[in-house]
Structure 1
């Protein structure tokens, strides 16, 4: 369990295995279309104090995310180094040369000189080891501050670690109260791999859950705030998606309270291994 002192505000961060500090909470932009909506969401989040922004090549909004970043930096006076920007290599671009080229494409679209974190988006069989060699090359050359994977099960990580020279620093996976991934979390903790949750609110599917509603009522918080606080307290970074200023602010308001042991017990009992996204073992790559 992380403590209240470790996660006090939106600038609170934790060290990855190489010492690079990654914010606990960030903004995700999955399914936010290219254009003003994506750029404005990023700009609003940074204005409100967010420092972590997560996108991916397949989201097809890296250009707008980059515009939002540049406008926010100009408006706030923040340095680029204050932000933690993540993108991901898509399945069609996995392979040594292909992934190196994909990284350059993402940088060009974002208008950045480097990324803070670059991930392999899905564990495509026969491709992710060559893609990982490319990420290791980018990391060794100082082109990216940290590297990791997304949607990797324990067996994918086991396989990758047979040949990897750098252990992935992050595994970004679907994780929420109905899919808590205890085996993966324990495996990752033993190897210094940090877990980051995508779809932490189960794409809105948990917002009316009676157990979470009751917990939220006791704390005077929303269900979304309870879930995001739970993520942080179990040691999981999280990137809720929103494009509305009010919701972006609500998602960030999770630092002034703590869940009780009974809250954690009740949430732990909710785990059904239920996904809203694809299973990495049964994904049509």
Structure 2
């Protein structure tokens, strides 16, 4: 534990200073696990007010990148900052809402009880619970036991938990995986509203067509960056009509 604490302090002392950028900024970011490079010197920028998709096949390094952003995974080298604060800084803890792939919902509790429990951990008010329930459109399921919810409804509960602290940065790891098209569409509409309200939002997916819903895309494969820029610019650059076609063209050129 002491060794991990020292490593974290060492990482936090790496100062990243670029006044031209805000949001989430990674430069030459490297993450190693058991001697294997998971992220290989990647550069990216997640801009506030833009719906940004982190897209790539399974095993590309998406979850590792997100864990580094929220401060769970300590980078090996490079820099990673959020609004000029090093990722993992104590000043960022109340500002980030993180939804991992594994559900944090307690199935034996109702929707409201789940939110009340997590609200108690961060001293969020009852009014905040009511607000997030409305935000994710779960008013009708407020008193429903989580075990009886659909997959899409559980995904909304997880999102509501992340929103309790009124974060201005949202990091969502495959939030729509396994959902039917109608529920996926509904959640992406919600994500777009959050992004266009000025929040910094990063959403990962291995489904290429989900990138077509994004303003900007970060394409990764085998821990390497293929693209980080506006989706429209990606299509122009590759002379393609879909993100999937663009991805394949970039892979061929790499």
Pairwise TM-score range, normalised by the shorter structure:
0.3 to 0.5
Q: Using structure 1 for the length normalisation, give the TM-score.
A: 0.30
**Larger RCO (CA under 8 A, 6+ residues apart):** 2
Length-normalised TM-score, structure 2: 0.32
Q: Quick check: which one's strand share is greater?
A: 2
